[in-house]
Chains A and B, each alone.
Chain A
Amino acid sequence: MPRIWSALHVPDLPATPRTGLLYNPPAMHWSDVVIESLREHEVWHATYVPDAINWQVLSKLEADPAFTVVPASREEEAVGIAAGIYAGGGRAAMFMQSSGFGNTINGLAQLLTAYRIPVPLFIGMRGGLSEFNEVQVPSARPIPAILDTLHIQHYAPQREDEVQKYVDGAIELAYASRMPVAVLWYAQLVGAKRATS
């Protein structure tokens, strides 16, 4: 039977265990929080190879005339284009799926890190809770360790009410440190993709 990709499935979030307080989702969807943060920090360009998680941000960015969104053929290329946008006086964020992270490493090392080019990196993390595709697991799992080894700081908001703090903070940190900074979207926040039949 053919597998059909369903919409993102957001798992039920439990009550916060220590306080017993009920989780109170913020008014804005996490993707809108990202867009407002990019606007606030004048990051008017985005480069990407698509994934279903980041597409929630990118589809709205593409519809917004304030932003220029550039799809690339391969993730390392998207890193190069983002670097060029910064070199040319602008600011660009880069969006990718965890599967594409491996394609970016030489660009992260020999371009962004060596030249001190700040690019906020948004990585849609597969391979975690409720993953059905086993090959996503070994490419996603080492990403935090690889980022550590590259001296690229990374953050992973787990709940919608943390997204603004993390995304604002990561973007500010990137431009202050003139280094790429990564934000990782895990299933805890964005849900897991379901294969339905």
Chain B
Amino acid sequence: MQRREGIAALVRRLDNEPVIANLGPATFDLYAAGDRDANLYTWGAMGLASSIALGVALAAPDRKVFVTDGDGSLLMNLGSLATIARQAPENLVHIVWDNRMWYETGGQPTHTSTGTDLGGIALAAGIRNVARAATVEAFEEALDQAIREPGPWFIHVDVEETGEPRQRPKVIVEENLVKFRRTFTG
């Protein structure tokens, strides 16, 4: 499956729930699925998407919070999994699009290409619910369960890159932050 199919499936299920997107393709594909105020796009701070999402989940415990991460970025901040496990926010759903490469910088293979298992690491870190998917159907099933049942959830998704060109979102990050925050403060 492709990341954009997964993101489309996610966005179809959302009302005002926040989504935090990793830099690069995860941000571009989320924007392409339709801009919304409750999307927080990151353009840097590589590795921190799941940390930001943990903060949002702690500040807004009544809303399900989604983060769409990349394998290379999560590998840069594996400690985040242990921090999330310790806080155990029931409203956090951490989705990782594992394309086994640093796609944004030219497709260099990451450590998941040689067998490092991010789902296994999440489980060992103490994340309560870990699901795996390699098809859109399996991903939707995992996602529906993660929406229904308390987390924290970690959904490890195998994705394939097609190499299609992407549009860069027209986003001013300060505006993005202000709009995103207003979905909580009104």
> A77 is contacted by which of B48, B174, B180, B181 (Cβ under 8 Å)?
B48
Chain A residues within an 8 Å CB radius of B173: 114-115
Query: A71 CA to B185 CA in the complex, in Å?
Result: 25
Determine if A116 and B55 form an interchain contact, defined as CB atoms under 8 angstroms apart.
no
Choose the segment among A88-96, A124-132, A158-166 that binds chain B (4+ C-beta atoms closer than 8 Å).
A88-96
Query: A70 CA to B58 CA in the complex, in Å?
Result: 9
* A83 within 8 Å of B (CB atoms): yes
Query: A78 CA to B18 CA in the complex, in Å?
Result: 20
Determine if B45 and A80 form an interchain contact, defined as CB atoms under 8 angstroms apart.
yes
Chain A residues within an 8 Å CB radius of B127: none
> B87 is contacted by which of A70, A88, A114 (Cβ under 8 Å)?
A70
Given contacts A115-B176, A115-B177, A83 and B55 within 8 Å (CB-CB): yes
Query: A77 CA to B57 CA in the complex, in Å?
Result: 15
Counted as pairs of residues, one from A and one from B, with CB atoms less than 8 Å apart, the total is 122
* A117 within 8 Å of B (CB atoms): yes
Query: Scoring A residues 83 to 121 as 1 if CB is less than 8 Å from chain B, else 0, what string do you get?
Result: 111111110100000000000001101110011110000
* A197 within 8 Å of B (CB atoms): no
Nearest chain A CB to B55 CB, angstrom units: 2
Nearest chain A CB to B90 CB, angstrom units: 15
Given contacts A77-B79, A80-B45, A85 and B185 within 8 Å (CB-CB): no
B 45-102 contacts with A by CB, 8 A: 45-48, 51-60, 65, 77, 79-80, 82-83, 86-87
Chain B residues within an 8 Å CB radius of A106: 44-46
* A192 within 8 Å of B (CB atoms): no
Q: Which residue of A lies closest to B183 (CB)?
A: A89
* A72 within 8 Å of B (CB atoms): yes
Chain A residues within an 8 Å CB radius of B86: 71
Query: A68 CA to B73 CA in the complex, in Å?
Result: 27
Q: What bracket does the count of chain B residues touching chain A fall in?
A: 35 or more
A 40-76 contacts with B by CB, 8 A: 45, 47, 68, 70-74, 76
Determine if A89 and B60 form an interchain contact, defined as CB atoms under 8 angstroms apart.
yes
* B142 within 8 Å of A (CB atoms): no
* A81 within 8 Å of B (CB atoms): yes
Determine if A107 and B45 form an interchain contact, defined as CB atoms under 8 angstroms apart.
yes
Determine if A45 and B58 form an interchain contact, defined as CB atoms under 8 angstroms apart.
yes
Query: A88 CA to B42 CA in the complex, in Å?
Result: 15
Determine if B83 and A85 form an interchain contact, defined as CB atoms under 8 angstroms apart.
no
> B48 is contacted by which of A73, A79, A89, A116 (Cβ under 8 Å)?
A79
Determine if B56 and A84 form an interchain contact, defined as CB atoms under 8 angstroms apart.
yes
Which of B59, B80, B87 neighbours the largest number of chain A CB atoms within 10 Å of its CB? B59
> A84 is contacted by which of B43, B52, B174, B185 (Cβ under 8 Å)?
B52
Nearest chain B CB to A115 CB, angstrom units: 4
Determine if A88 and B18 form an interchain contact, defined as CB atoms under 8 angstroms apart.
yes
Query: A83 CA to B44 CA in the complex, in Å?
Result: 13
Determine if B174 and A89 form an interchain contact, defined as CB atoms under 8 angstroms apart.
no
Chain B residues within an 8 Å CB radius of A84: 20, 51-59
Top 9 nearest A-B pairs (CB, nearest first) are A84-B55, A73-B79, A80-B51, A89-B184, A88-B59, A110-B44, A80-B48, A90-B59, A88-B56
Instruction: Kindly list 18 other residue pairs between chains A and B, CB separation below 8 angstroms, not including A84-B57, A87-B177, A89-B184.
Output: A71-B83, A72-B79, A73-B80, A76-B47, A77-B79, A79-B48, A80-B51, A81-B54, A82-B55, A84-B53, A86-B181, A87-B40, A88-B57, A89-B181, A110-B44, A110-B45, A114-B44, A115-B173
